Amino acid sequence: AAEALAAAKAAEMRQRLRLAARIEYDAKAKALVVLKAARSAEAKQRGIFVARIEREAEERARIKAEQEALAARVAAYEAELEARSEAVKKALTQPKSEAEEEVILQKYGGMDMEERAFNILLDLGMINLTPDPNAEDYYELNDDECAPENVPV
């Protein structure tokens, strides 16, 4: 009877150990599932964050390129205005040398009277050509000088 009692206690102990091992295994499995889910969520969030950082970097690069292009256009426009101003100053200087007079004669000599008058006034800066808004080199930042009613408020 003592042996049967000892065998029953040993069987119960083995069963308890198996149950404890099973509970421990299930707890580890659940912890692993939770860990995998957390890692998956972290990877997803990291991917979203990296994509956002890349989009912001692209946007900054695009804005910088636009600003540089605008600065280049402004510089080209200002250089054109300066060159025009210098050309007008040179055209207005008197007296001119014989070589300059010859160049002027060759430039305007083949034109009829109206075209010659127009080009002389244009070269002296007394008139300006109306800018073409469809032209590739059109500078829209001074539109308010051309048509102030078209400037948004």
- Provide the pLDDT for residue 80: 87
| Confidence band for 138, pLDDT divided at 50, 70 and 90 | confident
| Confidence band for 91, pLDDT divided at 50, 70 and 90 | confident
Q: Considering only CA atoms, which of 126, 25, 141 is closest in space to residue 76?
A: 141
- Token pair belonging to 132: 């073409």
Tens-place pLDDT, residues 9-19: 999 999 999 99
Query: Domain extents for the chain?
Result: 1-93, 94-153
* pTM for the model: 0.50
Separation of alpha carbons 70 and 86, rounded Å: 24
Q: Mean pLDDT across the stretch 60-83?
A: 93
Least confident of 7-11, 32-36, 77-81, 129-133: 129-133
Separation of alpha carbons 62 and 27, rounded Å: 52
